[in-house]
Chains A and B, each alone.
Chain A
Amino acid sequence: MNVTVVGGGPAGLYLAILLRKANPTVDVRVLERNAPDATFGWGVVFSEETLGALRDADLETYVAITDTFARWDRLEIRYRNRVLRSRGHSFSAIARRRLLEILQQRCRALGARLDFGHEIETVPTDADLVVAADGVNSVVRRASERDFGTKVEPEGCKYVWFGTPLVFDAFTFIFRETEYGLFHVHAYPFDDRTSTFIVECPESTWRAAGLDELDEEESLAFCERLFARDLEGRELLSNRSIWLSFPKVTNDTWHRARVVLMGDAAHTAHFSIGSGTKLAMEDAIALRDAFVRRAWDVDSALVDYELERQPVVERTQQAASESAAYFARVRSYTRLAPIQFAFNLLTRSGRISHASLAVRDPAFTRTLDSWLAATSARVAPPPAFAAFTLRGLELDNRIVARADEEAVSGAGLVLSGFVAVSPAGRITRETPTIEEWMPRMRPVLLQLSHAGPRGACLPRGLGADLPLPDGWELVAASPLAYGPFSAVPRELDVDGMAAVRDEFVTGARRATELGVDVLELDFGHGYLLASFISPLRNQRSDEYGSERLRFPLEVLDAVRRAWEGPLSVRLSITDWARGGLSIDDGVAVARVLVEHGCDVVHAVAGQTIHDDRPEYRRGFLTALSDRVRTEARIPILVGGHLTTLDDVSTIVGSGRADLCILDLPSADVEQEVAAAPDSPARQVAHT
């Protein structure tokens, strides 16, 4: 068998090593367009986990690589004249040039042919297998991008990759506010003389600073001046260092006939989680393993390789994209206290949680916990159990339970579920009205609502939005039926609006009598008040159409006057539908709610129209909650299928929400077992 590897980077060279080692009869040729010592980029990072895989795959390269490693386990965040440190992150880095030298040497020793200065224009046809390891702009991939289903899209900030002779002693994030916006740096040492120093900023900041018009030398000088203090007077080193946008590469399939993609040619992951080289070398290991497992049958080996790697790579790419998006909007987090800002940064891609950080770095989570509990005590509960004050109401913890949960004792707040202001505002005949409703648990949040166009339905046990055959008249902002077979609602006129507003006020007074702890007005999920807010549901020609928030705010203002306690508004942050409210619109609405005396926003999304496009998964509302909390600066209650206390601690600790609805799955840890008649336990019980 003969293999042509196009591209002599870490992916291609490592594959050549592993193939030759596994089977010396395989002829391996590596084509590299550059000279052996030409390289771009400074240092590359590996985690402990990757090192383990490298050690198992080829001990010689592992030993050579780890000999020249810079290792550290600290992460440092420089933010607002503070330095925050976190330990236990175990990373290693190596100069890319040194890594390539080691791999080239090992290739030669194992008899792989290295052909430098060899630029290809067409895909080689004289091999049993062609490996495209020629990077993000892969010539081989580009020859059949349609077959591979290639997508290349920019993500994250503008960035530029420098070196510096300053040796940092930790993985260092630097944030520097300027008149143009926020700049930030990812810096880490990779040998005993040099560090990588990547500068990033959003494109708008980059343009405002005029960096789009500076040449390589001028922009280097700009960055040196901006970070002079952190560089301790040392210079930045350029290596074709120009500002770039990061291209996210994905491919639907990684092989076609006898051509296979690996490394950056197949997939890229934003550098802010430092996984590019790791993924490339793991690809090489997986491909070698697949060949061994499939007895060097090319077709089945390539299927195996893709099957094994694609899900792993997709998860890493997802985390990398979340990290890239985090850094693109990081300026909005700069109002967070330093310790929370740091925890938010550490948990940005969902790979570190409060519980996992507590294992790596207990001092860090203890500091966070104490800060959140507003205590100087050295021992504080984790964020899920931190107390919270809402307009004078003290809640024991951040956990919110639904009233229908079998056991909700222990939660800081219990949700009432939908309670209608009037019989006409019910969803089903079984929906309680405020006249009938009684709180079962305390402290309780009363969700006061009017179903509007979603009223008069069969019980939710059968399904949602199934109209009753003999329902009652529906009302809405405009006469638009909600779903298939739903009745067309009557457009609410001014008198009708006044009546509904008065029902909410009466409901609020009743809530006071009942000793309700938190009152919530429902502006979400396409019910009556939500039908006024969305352009998809409100087509009125009067002032309640031109100012879609007008009626919901009249209700809010009237209730605010009648209710003195904490007031929540349940709001669909986005309609998840074309032409509907975007997240930006939702943030804008939340800002107005704050001005009108709302104390907490209960963030939900969608259900404004019947045919929306939701995205369900665990924590599907967390990103929305984060945006509203950060940008509208208001406490947030959020659900979105959070199933563990660690979810709650991570979200609350990182400032993405203040109160979390916990959906506990049923526990089957302990089971009663009937004692056998002759068992000793039984005998004891009888005596």
Chain B
Amino acid sequence: MNIGVGLPTTTPGADGGLVVEWAQRADAGPFSSLAVLDRFAYESLEPFTALAAAAGVTARVRLATMIAVAPLRPAALLAKEAASLHALSRGRLTLGLAIGARIEDYEAAGVEHRGRGRRFSEQLAYFRGRVDEERVGPSRQGIELLVGGASGPAFARMARYSDGYAHGGGPPRAFAGAAQRAEAAWRDFDRPGRPRLWGQGYFALGDTERGNAYLRDYYAFTGPFAERVVTANLTSPRAVRDFIRGYEEAGCDELVLFPTVSDAAELDRLAEALAG
């Protein structure tokens, strides 16, 4: 299993300086990917823009969206953005897409919330299928495409159009259950091989209270669920290692750990936890 790290783009105080420094250090560290979240109606950096900045200062790590809320963007624009990022990073993009969980994002973006599932399917069909549409270059060939979501139709979309599954987070047992559903859907669509499986979690190894406060705020829209996310925040090296072991046993291919505090020292703490 590979271990990736999140780029601080949604945590309070994340600015251009930190994003660039973080990306450089992650590229030099033990991480295989750098990933971003996507939140429209929130104090946060736009995912493709942030990854483009990271692409400019990195050479090795994969760059991933975990996930981008696809229906907020027109299909062709999304394809163009992703393809450009893939070209800028010299083929390092993993594009995770889903419909997201917040109606506020759709409202703020001025996009109809109803019918988002159907539109997302069309976007995926466009992204993967309309490769002959050469007016919208550069080439999308070789972009690793993941789909997230927890419903039956989400797993069907994943199996029909993508290369794998982007899990939304939770304990290893929840991931294992989702992985089985992903594999069941993959088989049902007669896809060769097996789906790539990406997981994610949060960590705060320094100022844990600050990290927890951010999660409480970020997940306030979920009501009582926010406290669950806070409880799951990995706040000790041992918790990080247990979490990694659990995901590895559940068959995860790439686990991305997202920071909850805008502090570059968190990267070192995470690297130490991995080494220990």
Interface residues of chain A, those whose CB is within 8 Å of chain B, are: 253, 255-256, 300, 303-304, 306-307, 311, 404, 417-418, 458, 460-467, 469, 483-485, 576, 604, 606-607, 610-618, 620, 639-641, 663
A614–B156 CB distance below 8 A? yes
A484–B188 CB distance below 8 A? no
Let me know if B125 is at the binding interface, CB within 8 A. Answer: yes
Q: Could you say which residues of chain B place their CB within 8 Å of the CB of A304?
A: 231
B128–A485 CB distance below 8 A? no
Let me know if B243 is at the binding interface, CB within 8 A. Answer: no
Q: Could you say which residues of chain B place their CB within 8 Å of the CB of A640?
A: 184
Q: Mark B116-138, 1 if CB is under 8 A from A, else 0.
A: 01100110011011111000000
Say how far B147's CB is from chain A's closest CB, in angstroms: 11
Identify the closest chain A residue to B190 (Cβ). A460
In the complex, 5 of the A-B residue pairs with CB atoms within 8 angstroms, ordered by the A residue number, are A303-B224, A461-B192, A463-B128, A466-B125, A611-B117
Let me know if B29 is at the binding interface, CB within 8 A. Answer: no
The complex places the Cα of A607 from the Cα of B223 at a distance, in Å, of 36
B191–A613 CB distance below 8 A? no
B122–A484 CB distance below 8 A? yes
Q: In residues 62-100 of chain B, which contact A (Cβ within 8 Å)?
A: none
Q: In residues 147-195 of chain B, which contact A (Cβ within 8 Å)?
A: 151-153, 155-156, 159-162, 173, 177, 180-185, 187-192
Let me know if B227 is at the binding interface, CB within 8 A. Answer: yes
Let me know if B102 is at the binding interface, CB within 8 A. Answer: no
Known contacts A418-B190, A618-B184; A484/B153 CB under 8 A: no
A616–B155 CB distance below 8 A? yes
The complex places the Cα of A404 from the Cα of B192 at a distance, in Å, of 8
Interface residues of chain B, those whose CB is within 8 Å of chain A, are: 117-118, 121-122, 125-126, 128-132, 151-153, 155-156, 159-162, 173, 177, 180-185, 187-192, 223-224, 227-228, 231
Q: Could you say which residues of chain B place their CB within 8 Å of the CB of A458?
A: 129
Say how far A313's CB is from chain B's closest CB, in angstroms: 15
Partner of B129, one of A307, A418, A466: A466
Q: Which of B128, B152, B159, B182 is packed against the most chain A CB atoms within 10 Å? A: B152
Known contacts A611-B118, A614-B153; A464/B181 CB under 8 A: no
Known contacts A460-B191, A485-B130, A640-B184; A307/B231 CB under 8 A: yes
The complex places the Cα of A93 from the Cα of B98 at a distance, in Å, of 50
The complex places the Cα of A300 from the Cα of B173 at a distance, in Å, of 22
A463–B183 CB distance below 8 A? no
Say how far B117's CB is from chain A's closest CB, in angstroms: 7
B129–A463 CB distance below 8 A? yes
A485–B231 CB distance below 8 A? no
Known contacts A464-B191, A483-B125; A617/B223 CB under 8 A: no
The complex places the Cα of A303 from the Cα of B222 at a distance, in Å, of 14
B121–A610 CB distance below 8 A? yes
Known contacts A303-B227, A663-B183; A465/B188 CB under 8 A: no
The complex places the Cα of A444 from the Cα of B242 at a distance, in Å, of 45
B152–A618 CB distance below 8 A? no
Partner of A614, one of B122, B126, B188, B190: B188
B184–A616 CB distance below 8 A? yes
Q: Which of A303, A418, A614 is packed against the most chain B CB atoms within 10 Å? A: A614
The complex places the Cα of A617 from the Cα of B184 at a distance, in Å, of 6
Q: Could you say which residues of chain A place their CB within 8 Å of the CB of B161?
A: 463-464, 466
Known contacts A253-B224, A485-B130, A641-B180; A463/B162 CB under 8 A: yes
Q: Could you say which residues of chain B place their CB within 8 Å of the CB of A604?
A: 188
Known contacts A464-B160, A466-B129; A253/B191 CB under 8 A: no
Q: Could you say which residues of chain A place their CB within 8 Å of the CB of B187?
A: 639, 641, 663
The complex places the Cα of A616 from the Cα of B160 at a distance, in Å, of 13
Q: Which of B128, B156, B188 is packed against the most chain A CB atoms within 10 Å? A: B188
Known contacts A253-B223, A307-B231; A616/B128 CB under 8 A: no
Q: Could you say which residues of chain B place their CB within 8 Å of the CB of A300?
A: 227
Known contacts A464-B159, A484-B121; A616/B181 CB under 8 A: yes
Known contacts A464-B160, A611-B117, A614-B185; A484/B180 CB under 8 A: no
A613–B152 CB distance below 8 A? yes
Identify the closest chain B residue to A465 (Cβ). B160
Say how far A286's CB is from chain B's closest CB, in angstroms: 14
The complex places the Cα of A618 from the Cα of B187 at a distance, in Å, of 11
A464–B125 CB distance below 8 A? no
Known contacts A464-B189, A466-B129; A618/B180 CB under 8 A: yes
Q: Could you say which residues of chain A place their CB within 8 Å of the CB of B227?
A: 300, 303
Identify the closest chain A residue to B131 (Cβ). A469
The complex places the Cα of A311 from the Cα of B122 at a distance, in Å, of 35
Identify the closest chain A residue to B156 (Cβ). A614
Say how far B66's CB is from chain A's closest CB, in angstroms: 20
B189–A616 CB distance below 8 A? no
Identify the closest chain A residue to B160 (Cβ). A464
Give the 10 A-B residue pairs with the shortest CB-CB distance, closest first.
A466-B129, A641-B184, A484-B125, A469-B132, A303-B227, A484-B122, A616-B184, A616-B181, A614-B152, A616-B185
B125–A641 CB distance below 8 A? no
The complex places the Cα of A420 from the Cα of B181 at a distance, in Å, of 29
The complex places the Cα of A640 from the Cα of B128 at a distance, in Å, of 26
The complex places the Cα of A245 from the Cα of B223 at a distance, in Å, of 33
B185–A464 CB distance below 8 A? no
Identify the closest chain A residue to B132 (Cβ). A469
The complex places the Cα of A483 from the Cα of B156 at a distance, in Å, of 13
Given contact pairs A303-B231, A466-B129, enumerate 8 new A-B contacts (beta carbons under 8 Å): A460-B189, A465-B160, A466-B128, A611-B121, A611-B153, A617-B177, A617-B180, A618-B180
Q: Could you say which residues of chain B place their CB within 8 Å of the CB of A641?
A: 180, 183-184, 187-188
A620–B184 CB distance below 8 A? yes
B231–A616 CB distance below 8 A? no
The complex places the Cα of A253 from the Cα of B225 at a distance, in Å, of 9
Q: Could you say which residues of chain A place their CB within 8 Å of the CB of B162?
A: 463
The complex places the Cα of A616 from the Cα of B157 at a distance, in Å, of 12
Q: Could you say which residues of chain B place their CB within 8 Å of the CB of A463?
A: 128-129, 160-162, 191
A460–B231 CB distance below 8 A? no
The complex places the Cα of A537 from the Cα of B235 at a distance, in Å, of 54
Q: Could you say which residues of chain B place their CB within 8 Å of the CB of A611?
A: 117-118, 121, 153
A616–B188 CB distance below 8 A? yes
Q: Could you say which residues of chain B place their CB within 8 Å of the CB of A663?
A: 183, 187
Identify the closest chain A residue to B125 (Cβ). A484
Q: Could you say which residues of chain B place their CB within 8 Å of the CB of A466?
A: 125, 128-129, 161
A485–B126 CB distance below 8 A? yes
Say how far A458's CB is from chain B's closest CB, in angstroms: 7
Say how far A631's CB is from chain B's closest CB, in angstroms: 23
Identify the closest chain B residue to A303 (Cβ). B227
Say how far A620's CB is from chain B's closest CB, in angstroms: 6
A616–B190 CB distance below 8 A? no
Say how far B128's CB is from chain A's closest CB, in angstroms: 5
Q: Could you say which residues of chain B place their CB within 8 Å of the CB of A618?
A: 180, 184
The complex places the Cα of A607 from the Cα of B187 at a distance, in Å, of 13
Q: Which of B118, B184, B187, B228 is packed against the most chain A CB atoms within 10 Å? A: B184
Q: Could you say which residues of chain A place their CB within 8 Å of the CB of B155?
A: 614, 616
Q: Could you say which residues of chain A place their CB within 8 Å of the CB of B131?
A: 469
Identify the closest chain A residue to B145 (Cβ). A463
The complex places the Cα of A654 from the Cα of B129 at a distance, in Å, of 44
The complex places the Cα of A138 from the Cα of B91 at a distance, in Å, of 59
